[in-house]
Chain A
Amino acid sequence: DTEVTQTPKHLVMGMTNKKSLKCEQHMGHRAMYWYKQKAKKPPELMFVYSYEKLSINESVPSRFSPECPNSSLLNLHLHALQPEDSALYLCASSQDRGRSTNEKLFFGSGTQLSVL
């Protein structure tokens, strides 16, 4: 199994809603990532978890709250988002980028989020 699975594929939410994005991989990878991608822009790193601990937070607003319940799962909790947060949210995983470079990232197909 070389897949990273993201759910839901599409999400529409209001600014007062609370929702969660989910990501799952069963490749035994110990590093997991959240990226945000606006239209016609490259993905931008948001968070990195390494061995279930948050290792990088790229100054992301607190209305985005990541969670890594175990080594296979990664969540992104959303609360009080703004319309400008509408984007494609991509999850990725890799073997163990905390210890070395040159590791391939495996990406999920993303969640297309629209904030009304």
Chain B
Amino acid sequence: SQELEQSPQSLIVQEGKNLTINCTSSKTLYGLYWYKQKYGEGLIFLMMLQKGGEEKSHEKITAKLDEKKQQSSLHITASQPSHAGIYLCGADKNYGQNFVFGPGTRLSVLP
């Protein structure tokens, strides 16, 4: 089965600081997704990475997938209070429909 781990479990940073969240898989990832969730709300899609070494950016968020396709990082530059929430990585458990999530990283950004 596809098991995903995330670190850190939680993170508190001062506004304006940079931060990195990691997602590690026990198996090769065929697609790695990053989602953000506000407490008690739905998930918002951030980015999808497919190829080893791939890197994508959107506004101040950059996600990378390593060459071995077993680890991904999410980097936020100059964090803002609006970045606060739970960041979840996700991947396919098997070919097709069974999509699973990592345990999540809770981010708080202090103004």
Do the two chains belong together in a single complex? yes
- Residues of A close to B90: CB separation below 8 A: 105
- Of B13-21, B37-45, B61-69, B72-80, the stretch lying at the interface with chain A is B37-45
Known contacts A50-B97, A56-B97: does B33 contact A110 (CB below 8 Å)? no
Count of interface residues, chain A, beta-carbon cutoff 8 Å: 30
A101 beta carbon closer than 8 Å to chain B: yes
Known contacts A97-B97, A97-B99: does B42 contact A108 (CB below 8 Å)? yes
CB distance from A91 to the nearest CB of B (A): 9
- Of A11-19, A40-48, A61-69, A71-79, the stretch lying at the interface with chain B is A40-48
CB distance from A93 to the nearest CB of B (A): 12
Whether B97 lies near A55 (C-beta < 8 A) is yes
Whether A42 lies near B102 (C-beta < 8 A) is yes
**With the chains together, A110 CA to B86 CA distance in Å?**
15
**With the chains together, A92 CA to B42 CA distance in Å?**
9
Which residue of B42, B48, B104 is within 8 Å of A104 (Cβ)?
B48
**With the chains together, A98 CA to B45 CA distance in Å?**
20
CB distance from A53 to the nearest CB of B (A): 12
- Residues of A close to B98: CB separation below 8 A: 45, 48, 56, 58
CB distance from B34 to the nearest CB of A (A): 11
Residues of A at the B interface (CB closer than 8 Å) are 4, 6, 31, 33, 41-43, 45, 48, 50, 55-56, 58, 88, 90, 92, 97-102, 104-110, 112
Could you pull out 6 A-B pairs where Cβ atoms are within 8 angstroms? A6-B42, A50-B97, A100-B96, A105-B43, A105-B90, A106-B45
